[in-house]
Structures are given as C-alpha cells and as structure tokens.
Amino acid sequence: GVKAQPLLSLRGINMTFGGVKALKNVSFEVLPGEVHCLAGENGSGKSTLIKVISGVYRPADGAEIVFDGETISHMTPAMAQSRGIQIIWQDLALFPEMSVAENIAFQTLSGSRPRFVNYAAIRGIAEEALARLGVTLDVDRPLKDFAIAQRQIVAIARALVGEARIVFMDEPTASLTQSETDHLLAIVRTLSASGVAVVFVSHRLAEVLDISSRITVLRDGALVGVYPVEGMTQSDITEQMTGRTFDQNVRAR
C-alpha cells in the first residue's frame, strides 16, 4: 500500500549530559494524526527526546530533524511553537491566578501583542477550543479553582489555539484518577480524529494499548524498535522495555 509521509522524522539523535549518554543514535517518526506511544523505563530518554524535538535541548552534530517536509538543522522553542509542535509539560506551565480563558488564549495574545485586550474575544477563543475537545468549563474562573485533570485539558486547549499539528504529552495520566484518565483518553482520540498527531508517554501499558496505534520503545537511551500496537500485549511491551522475557520479568518482581 501507499506509505503515509511522516509528519515528523528524527534521525541520528545523540544527547549527552556530562558523562551520561541520554540518547544514543535515536530515530523517531510520527505520522500525521496518529496516536504514537513513546515507551521505556525510567531514565530511558523519553523526556530528553521530547526536549530535543521542542528545541529545549540541542542534540549533538549529525542530527536530522524533518518536520512536514522541512529539514530543521537547529530547532528552537520558537520554531517548534510556530510550526505547531506543542508540548504539554508535566508542570503544565499555566498561570493559576489567570482565568481559564486567559490561559487558553495567552499564546495567541502574546504573539500578536494587542494594545487592548478584548475579554469577549479571549472568551470566544477559549470556548471554541474547549468545544473542539467536547468539554465545557467555566472559563471565567481562575485556573487555580480547577483540579489537575481540568488543568491538563486547559493546556491541550491552549495547544489547539496555537494551531497544533502534533501534541506531546509526557506522562499526562500520572496523577489522574481512572475516570479522569478515561476522559483524557477520549480527548486524545478527539484530537487525533481532527488530524492532530499525539505522542503519548505513559507507564500504564493498558492505556498505551488502548489509545495508540504505534509504539516506539527506548531502552537506556537507545531505540529498541517501532511496533504496531494491534496484537501486542502488555507483557510484549514490557519485554521490549526491559530486554527480559516475560518469565524473567515475573521472577524479577
């Protein structure tokens, strides 16, 4: 069949911190609109890879980053932002004292530097983004009134307002309850159905199998493989992550 052109493609990514090789010649590819899981044990390099993609870290020479057909030799956060590469950081990087609406519309407003801020316009932008996610929130209330699960939704809505083409979520369900997790997974599906690619990092393999179509596994900073999720079991993923067989993993517990 016809192979879809990747939206994002990285090759030869090396990243060293002092003596620690956090990424060793890693390649990574995301297709348009797919939900792609990045898996690996703690310290395997997942967050570092996301920081390279978003321009926070500069990888060693020889790296190749291609986004939507454009080769980017030195990604910066501003370039990532302007191309629709959006990251939902673990600390969410939101403003607790500001209203939900202001948090969602903030990037657009700071980009255009308006002299007068029209709150009705801000509210309109925010409500439209939330509606795309199928969510209703009181956008006039300060963000600090909301639980972490809702704040995450606010961060995703903000990414949409930033014309996201690809959204990275680094362990978004780590502090969510089961029902909050289910809600977030539904939102991820909505994003993906609207053509936005999602890269999802999670330790919870049941939700990885549930949400993603493909999975890239890292181990000790190196790429282990890229797998279609269909037909995979949780123990298959654990085997790839640890390099041990299912039986060995049972004994290691």
Q: Which does 20 bind (CB under 5 to 8 A by kind): ligand ADP, Mg ion, none?
A: ligand ADP
Q: Which does 192 bind (CB under 5 to 8 A by kind): ligand ADP, Mg ion, none?
A: none
- List residues binding ligand ADP (CB under 6 A): 17, 20, 22, 40, 42-48
Of residues 14 and 90, the one with the C-beta less far from Mg ion: 90
- CA 125 → CA 44, 74, 84, distances in Å? 38, 32, 17
Token representation of residue 51: 């920081």
Q: Which stretch binds Mg ion (CB under 5 A): 19-27, 38-46, 123-131, 224-232?
A: 38-46
Strands 35-39 and 64-67: unpaired
Minimum CB distance to ligand ADP, residue 62 (Å): 19
Minimum CB distance to ligand ADP, residue 46 (Å): 3
Q: Which does 103 bind (CB under 5 to 8 A by kind): Mg ion, ligand ADP, none?
A: none
Minimum CB distance to Mg ion, residue 30 (Å): 18
SS3 at position 41: coil
Minimum CB distance to ligand ADP, residue 49 (Å): 7
Of residues 38 and 196, the one with the C-beta less far from Mg ion: 38
Q: Which does 202 bind (CB under 5 to 8 A by kind): ligand ADP, Mg ion, none?
A: none
SS3 at position 5: coil
**Angle between the N-to-C axes of helices 100-112 and 148-161, in degrees from 0 to 180, rounded to the nearest 10:** 30
Strand partners, 86: 167
- Closest C-alpha among 246, 245, 248, 241 to residue 37: 241
Q: Which does 147 bind (CB under 5 to 8 A by kind): ligand ADP, Mg ion, none?
A: none
**What stretch of H or E contains 168?**
strand 166-170
Q: What does the buried/exposed string (b/e) look like for 39-76 if buried means 16 or more CB atoms within 10 Å of the residue's CB? A: bbbeebbbbbbbbbbbbbbebeeebebbbbeeebeebe
Token representation of residue 246: 């299912």
**47 sits near Mg ion (criterion: CB under 5 A):** yes
Cα–Cα distance, 202 to 122 (Å, whole number): 33
Q: Which amino acid is at 101?
A: A
**44 sits near Mg ion (criterion: CB under 5 A):** no
- Closest C-alpha among 226, 172, 202 to residue 39: 202
Q: Which stretch binds Mg ion (CB under 5 A): 42-50, 95-103, 115-123, 232-240?
A: 42-50
Of residues 6 and 40, the one with the C-beta less far from Mg ion: 40
Q: Which does 119 bind (CB under 5 to 8 A by kind): ligand ADP, Mg ion, none?
A: none
Q: Which stretch binds Mg ion (CB under 5 A): 39-47, 66-74, 94-102, 228-236?
A: 39-47
Q: Which does 99 bind (CB under 5 to 8 A by kind): Mg ion, ligand ADP, none?
A: none
Positions in the binding site for Mg ion (CB under 5 A): 46-47
